[in-house]
Amino acid sequence: MNKLDKIDRRILAILQADSSRSAADIASEVGLTTTPCWRRIQKLEHDGVIRANVALLDRDRLGLGVDVFVAVKTSEHDAAWLDAFAKTITEFNEVVECYRMSGEIDYLMRVVVADIDAYDQFYRRLIDDIRLTDVSSSFAMECLKYTTAVPL
């Protein structure tokens, strides 16, 4: 990846906070004219630094206020099982994040659901679809920090 200069970092910080801002608005904040700022944004998109522009939804207003952290252990560690697991979890909209881990657990998922009953339905579908050794679920009681912004 090419190095980002101070202006690129400022542009990225602004876009992380509000990607709907116009190039002209961003340009005036970072000390550029519109066209060079727009070109920088286009280059950041082309280079894959900016992966997507999305809308962040209010989960509580949508009735999806429960975060469940699901620790998964498996006794299978071959490529075929991993491919099957990855395919399975991509079919569950409730899984918003999933990581292959080091240490005690093999995979950690963040699952977003409406309530405990919705999680139980998710869990039953999950264990029907893929063979797992152990599944441990922890329900988040309170979110102390949540951001989609990465440190620049």
Q: How many domains does the chain have?
A: 2
Q: Which two tokens stand for residue 79?
A: 């490529």
Q: Does 55 map to a domain? A: no
Q: Does 149 map to a domain? A: no
Residue in this structure with the two tokens 């797992």, named with its chain if needed? 132
- Strand order across the 66-73 sheet: 95-100, 107-113, 66-73, 134-139
Say if residue 35 is in the same domain as residue 77: no
Which tens digits make up the pLDDT trace of 93-136?
999 999 999 999 999 999 999 999 999 999 999 999 999 999 99
Yes or no: say if 130 and 75 are a contact pair by the CB < 8 Å rule. no
- CATH code at position 78: 3.30.70.920
Say if residue 15 is in the same domain as residue 80: no
Domain of residue 109, residue span: 66-139
**Whole-number percent of the chain with pLDDT over 90:** 98
- Average pLDDT in the 4-13 region? 97
Which tens digits make up the pLDDT trace of 34-73?
999 999 999 999 999 999 999 999 999 999 999 999 999 9
Say if residue 41 is in the same domain as residue 85: no
Nearest to 89 by CA among 65, 122, 62: 122
Q: Which pTM value belongs to this model?
A: 0.87
DSSP per-residue letters across 14-68: HHHH-TTS-HHHHHHHHT--HHHHHHHHHHHHHTTSS----PPP-TTTTT--EEE
Which tens digits make up the pLDDT trace of 89-99?
999 999 999 99
Amino acid at 64: L
Say if residue 74 is in the same domain as residue 30: no
Q: Does 146 map to a domain? A: no
Q: Does 15 map to a domain? A: yes
Say if residue 42 is in the same domain as residue 70: no
- CATH code at position 15: 1.10.10.10
